[in-house]
Amino acid sequence: MGYRITTVSRLTGIPRNTLLAWERRYNLVAPKRQENGYRAYSDADVDYLRTIKQLVDSGYRISEAITLVEERTPGVTGSTTSVPSNRDFGSLRTTLLDALLSFDRAAAEACVLPVSMSGHEFLMDTLYLPLLREIGDGWHEGRITISQEHFASAFIRERMLAMLVAVGFGPSGGRRTLCACMSGERHDGGLLSVAVRLTLRGHHVSWLGADVPAAALVDAANTQRSEVVCVSAIVAGSDVAAYAREVRAGLHSGCVLVMGGAAVRTSELPTLEGVRWARSTEELWSHLSGSGQ
């Protein structure tokens, strides 16, 4: 499908004059000229421009954003990338899941290649996070073996971690934010998606990952003078409040501590001074906005 520049501007949020200037200076995309004389942008162009706009909005210069995207998929620009439409993602998820459950890494790689230029949040929300939920449900219901769950989850986790690497863990001058799972917690897929979203909102993320003891978390946060610490707790029944108290007691006063995850959503937790419980992504953004984001 071909889009005129006015429509592309609306779809991407890039002002028309800015888009034209970027095209001239950086050869960003190369829309084709139609018979009626109008230039037509492809679906791939729109997805590419959305990714660039997202990075620029998070604090990157346009040249840095282009470099990051090119490094993620060398030689690929909007005009040469074929991205499935939204309606195709359901079948793509099915195909990718079948490949992962068959331990066929090559087939899985082939599945994700056509969508590799899609925006990070769109890709997580449309493909990776729904797959993680489906894999988890399949394991709980006995339809998926432990080895299949590990293989599939690891593949998806790799892709989201690659997103963090692709954006340089966020702008170097961004808000210093540390992300970790509480001790005993080995599932970090949800937190990885939060970390990627944080980078796209101007945070510079330090990623500690799974199973981080409270003392180690405090040491890392204070050493780096982190402004925000985001902790994920998934396992129901884990002593989230005790962990939060220990971490909060050791953190420097200027650091915001936010705790989230399934264990937070499903538990009755006390009000603790200096601890913010995030029972949804919306609550997380609300907490961070209220602390100076």
What residue ranges do the domains of the chain occupy? 5-72, 86-164, 168-290
Long-range contacts of 278-283 (CB under 8 A, 24+ apart): 281/194, 281/197
pLDDT in tens, 173-211: 889 999 999 999 988 999 999 999 998 888 999 999 999
CATH fold for the domain made of 86-164: 1.10.1240
Residue 109 · residue 145 · CB < 8 Å: no
Q: Give pLDDT, residue 1.
A: 53
Per-residue pLDDT band at 290 (split at 50, 70, 90)? low
Please give the CATH topology (third level) of the domain spanning 168-290.
Rossmann fold (3.40.50)
Global pTM? 0.71
Give percent of the chain with pLDDT exceeding 70: 90
What's the pLDDT tens digit per position in 252-278? Answer: 999 999 999 999 998 888 899 999 999
Which range, of 74-78, 161-165, 271-275, averages the lowest pLDDT?
74-78
So what's the pLDDT on residue 80?
A: 42
CA distance 170 to 203: 6
Given the structure tokens 């949800």, which residue do they identify? 190
Q: What's the average model confidence in pLDDT over 56-67? A: 80
pLDDT of residue 59: 73
Domain 5-72: state its class.
Answer: mainly alpha
Which range, 65-69, 105-109, 141-145, has the best average confidence (pLDDT)? 141-145
Sequence-separated (6 or more) residues with CB below 8 Å from residue 83: 43, 44, 47, 114, 115, 117, 118
